[in-house]
Amino acid sequence: MKNKILIGWLASLLLLFSCDEKNPEVVPIFETSQLEAPPLSYTYFNAEIDEVQENQIIDLIEDHGFVWSTSPDNSLDNPNSEIIRIGVKKPNYAFSSFVKNLIGNTTYYVKAFIQMNNQVYYANEISFTTKPGTWKKLKDFPGDPLVNATGFSINGKGYIVKESQVWEYIPSTDTWERKNDAPFYAPAPTSFVKGGEAYVFCTDLWHYQAELDEWELIEHANTNKSSRVWGCDGMASFVVGEKVYFAGGERRLNQLLIEFDFETMKWSYPSKQHVFNRAYASGFSLGSSGFIVGGDISGNDDLGIVKYNTDEQSFSYWGKLVNDRGYGCDRQEMICFQISDRVFIGLGYGEFVLAPGIDVKSQFDFYEYKPDEGVWIPQTYPVFVDENNDINFLGRSGGVSFVIEGRAFMGLGENRSYNNDTNRYQDFWEFIPN
């Protein structure tokens, strides 16, 4: 009897060892793929399984996916980790997952995981940092799409003027209200704020009294057939001290910079140098200097950046917009705004120069420009990813922007390409310069 029990015990032990040899515990061999900094607000997490081993473990995988957050050491047990579960593995030696709504200038940590043998196995953890800037989609503009409108802000509200339309934007409620029509017609005006007061120029100079929703005519500009009448549409402007400067514009063949002095209430041409043979350029000022960037050329002028030193009444050229491939580009109808002394500019119609050639259409690349350093810092590009994860690239020209108490807003305009159909926008966005 004892011999029979001993024989049975030995047989069972032999069978157990035999099963272990046939089905040893397999540890998956896989890795999380390193990511470059994504230029957009979305990316793909990727992982690869050892090709030879995958056939051995494919039927054992119960779940797989990624764990990620803005902190290292992610895991399924970490309460701060976001978890992406993909489920049962399909054979192709790799797996991936789409993620969106990433925050600009933020470092993320990601690792892949595989669940099998009633255990969780983790691959290496990688990290990547997004480009600066975050785009937040707001409610759509309620009116008809507008192209080449002008925008400004006063008293904590934003305003858009196009033709005779005047719209007010309230950021606290993300709402729009159409105001009384302006007493002028301006297809593509320019605007500026000086001393907390808003002005719009197109043939005449108008002061907008927001509290009364009324317009005051400051000065007629049609005496002696002044050339500034001819260049109304597509002018650029900047303010330095008590003076405002206007550059370029359609049909302005004399190309001279125009100056209006609020102290003397007089117009003048401060320099006889002809440098602004362009329209739909962008203008801004830093210190005692103004800058004009890009524009639609008329003639043979260089479309590089022009700096005007108001103290010396002199001009200098400062190169072109340099895209994130390192190539200089010609652009017009760009978005341009300032947050304190930081200048943000981009999008617009024109080139995105690649290695062998050019691509002329509405672009969506966006930059912080530092003139003194001569650098263009790529920001996160504005794209829209819908609920189905369909990606919409928002190439845009003729958009409008304004800054309200340090918050930057942008929208409208159109997406067009050379000899192709045009798609007009009603969307509106806030840009957060992280």
pLDDT tens figures, 380-432 = 999 888 888 888 888 999 999 999 999 999 999 999 987 777 899 999 999 99
Between CA 94 and CA 5 the distance in angstroms is: 51
CB 336 within 8 A of CB 282: yes
Between CA 384 and CA 101 the distance in angstroms is: 9
CB 141 within 8 A of CB 412: yes
Question: pLDDT per residue over 52-77, tens digit each?
Answer: 888 888 889 999 999 999 999 999 99
Single pTM value for the model: 0.85
Check residue 308 and give its pLDDT: 93
Identify the DSSP state of 23: S
Residues paired with 240 in a beta bridge? 243
**Is 297 strand, coil or helix?**
strand
Average pLDDT over residues 266-288: 85
DSSP string for 346-408: E--EE----SS----EE---EEEEETTTTEEEE----EEE-TT--EEE---BS-EEEEETTEE
The whole-chain average pLDDT of the chain stands at: 86
Residues belonging to the chain: 434
Question: pLDDT per residue over 218-256, tens digit each?
Answer: 876 544 444 445 567 899 999 999 999 998 888 765 568
Q: How far is CA 385 from the centre of its chain?
A: 14
CB 94 within 8 A of CB 46: yes
Check residue 240 and give its pLDDT: 96
| Helix (DSSP H) and strand (DSSP E) numbers for the chain | 3, 42
Quick check: 7 pLDDT over 50? no
Q: Kindly report, as residue ranges, where domains of CATH 2.120.10.80 are found in the chain.
A: 134-432
Q: Is the sign of the CA dihedral 179, 181, 183, 184 positive or negative?
A: positive
What superfamily does domain 134-432 belong to in CATH? Kelch-type beta propeller (2.120.10.80)
Could you give the percent of the chain with pLDDT greater than 70? 87
β-pairing verdict for 331-332 and 306-309: unpaired
In the block, residue with structure tokens 């597509």: 234
Question: pLDDT per residue over 77-134, tens digit each?
Answer: 999 999 999 998 776 778 999 999 999 999 999 999 999 989 999 999 999 999 999 9
Closest CA to 394 of 403, 404, 406, 386: 386
Tokens of 79: 């309460």
Between CA 127 and CA 70 the distance in angstroms is: 9
Q: Kindly report, as residue ranges, where domains of CATH 2.60.40.10 are found in the chain.
A: 8-129
Tokens of 307: 């700096």
Q: Which CATH class is domain 8-129?
A: mainly beta
What type of residue sits at position 406? G
Question: pLDDT per residue over 113-126, tens digit each?
Answer: 999 989 999 999 99
CB 396 within 8 A of CB 331: no
Between CA 232 and CA 202 the distance in angstroms is: 5
Between CA 240 and CA 257 the distance in angstroms is: 14
In the block, residue with structure tokens 């230029």: 39
Residues 401, 405, 409, CA angle at the centre, nearest 5°? 25
Question: pLDDT per residue over 328-339, tens digit each?
Answer: 888 999 999 999
